[in-house]
Amino acid sequence: MEFQELYDLVRTRRSIRRYRPDDVPDEMLQRAIELATWAPSGGNYQPWRFTVVKNRELIGQIADAVEARSRLMASWPEADRYREQADRWIRTSAFFRDAPACIAVQVGGYQSVADRLLAARGPQDPAAAEMMEWRRFGSSRIQTIGGAIMLLLLALHQQGLGACWMAGPLQAKAEIEKLLNVPEGWEFVALIPVGFPAEEREGAPRRPLDEVMEFIR
């Protein structure tokens, strides 16, 4: 692949929230997920699972759970200062209800040697406690699953599909894990609705490179 091809693929990907009703062939989804499993992972642990949901009733139940949590949060008095955004959030948090397919991404546990050593040392040691907090902030398993999701999005886009990386459904994590029978030791972490795009979106501008990059020579 020429660099320009990769450049164009990455720069033309968009977060798509409206889909045609056409079914998405299983083979297209399988190809994308297979590519996602080539993401780098801490200790080559590969802590990922992908549940593809096409069942309309089940997608609706997941959407209901997410929407119910949105309504709950929007009902709190603390939401009054964000009323316009909170009301819009209720309307849009379950936009995936009509997606032809949804990919529920799950992540498993992973502890590196450093994690096990710090856990054994315990929080009574200030240096160990500090390092444990830093490692929690940049959790290896979350970085790993983020890389897999990005590859998944690019593989879907390359095949002409639209998708959206959703962390919002985490507000209904317990309900979704129950609906999907997520095995013990695994956790729901993101939802990726997928379909043939029914919208075209312009890319949001990016900050200038000189604001986000520096060389130390």
Q: Note the pLDDT tens digit of each residue in 54-71.
A: 999 999 999 999 999 999
Write the pLDDT tens digit of every residue in 112-153: 888 888 888 888 899 988 888 888 888 888 999 999 999 999
Q: Is residue 217 part of a domain?
A: no
Structure token pair of residue 103: 């990919």
Q: How confident is the model at residue 215 (pLDDT cuts 50, 70, 90)?
A: very high
Buried b (16+ CB within 10 A) or exposed e, 31-59: ebbebbeebebbeeebbbbbbbbeeeeeb
Q: Looking at the domain assignment, is residue 207 inside a domain?
A: no
Whether the predicted pLDDT of 217 surpasses 90: yes
Rounded to two decimals, what is the model's pTM? 0.93
The whole domain housing 24 covers: 3-195
| List of E strands, 54-207 | 101-108, 162-163, 186-195
Q: Retrieve residue 105's tokens.
A: 């991404």
Q: Is residue 206 in some structural domain?
A: no
Q: Domain for residue 216, yes or no?
A: no
Distance CA 177, CA 174 (A): 5
How far apart, in whole angstroms, are the C-alpha atoms of residue 50 and residue 192?
Answer: 10
Angle CA 85–162–181, to nearest 5: 80
Residue 42 lies in a domain: yes
Q: How many structural domains does the chain have?
A: 1
pLDDT digits (tens, 9 = 90+) for 21-50: 999 999 999 999 999 999 999 888 999 999
In a domain, 180, yes or no: yes
Residue 203 lies in a domain: no
d(CA 24, CA 40): 27
Place of tokens 């079914």: 23
Which secondary-structure segment (H or E) carries 49?
strand 48-53
Domain of 43, CATH number, reads: 3.40.109.10
> Residue 47 in contact with residue 112, Cβ under 8 Å?
no
b/e sequence 72-111, b meaning 16+ C-beta within 10 Å = eebeeeeeeeeeeebeebeeebbbbebbbbbbbbbbbebe
- Convert the pLDDT of each residue in 195-214 to its tens digit: 999 999 888 899 999 999 99
